[in-house]
Copies of this chain bind each other. A is one copy, B any other.
Amino acid sequence: MISQKARYALRALLALAEGKSPTIGEIAEEQKIPRKFLEQILLDLKYQGLVSSRRGRSGGYELHMPADQITFGRVLRIIDGPIAPLPCLSRTAYKPCNDCRDEKTCEIRRVFARVAESARDVLDRVTIAEAMQKPGLAEVGDLSETEAKSA
């Protein structure tokens, strides 16, 4: 499960990708996100260069880069940390599993490497811009599972 915070971050970015420069308050109300919590999230995203802000009387937020350069994976790593299901499979925060004898022969690692790869395959490719597109148009990948309430 991704965190509520990450969901809020993605929602906020999708809102900013509309192109306006809304205030925190406007985003919070429109997206039903607790306002002070959203402040912190937007600060995180700002520190990482995804959004920029204008202070003062008619301030607000906007994307600091094109929406088609912001992947879901990038957002998740900022908010939730590594995507990999095992520390020993993380690209961004590698750590050996403390109970693992030998990574090269670890059966668990081998299986989860496949999970990690397929997750990255989606998350590091799909951008905020793509996610905004209505389905039914030409799509990057296969979206046929939209109707199946599964997993």
A54 near B: Cβ within 8 Å?
A: no
Interface string of A105-138 (1 = CB under 8 A from B): 0011011111111111111001000011001000
Nearest 8 CB-CB pairings of A with B: A116-B151, A118-B118, A84-B151, A107-B131, A91-B150, A120-B151, A117-B145, A114-B122
Q: Considering the chains assembled together, what is the distance between the CA atoms of A99 and B7 in angstroms?
A: 9
> Cβ of B90 and Cβ of A108 under 8 Å apart?
no
Interface size class of A (residues with CB under 8 A): 35 or more
Interface string of A66-93 (1 = CB under 8 A from B): 0000001000000000111111011100
Q: Considering the chains assembled together, what is the distance between the CA atoms of A90 and B151 in angstroms?
A: 5
> Cβ of B143 and Cβ of A97 under 8 Å apart?
no
> Cβ of A119 and Cβ of B117 under 8 Å apart?
no
The chain B residue with its CB closest to the CB of A141 is: B114
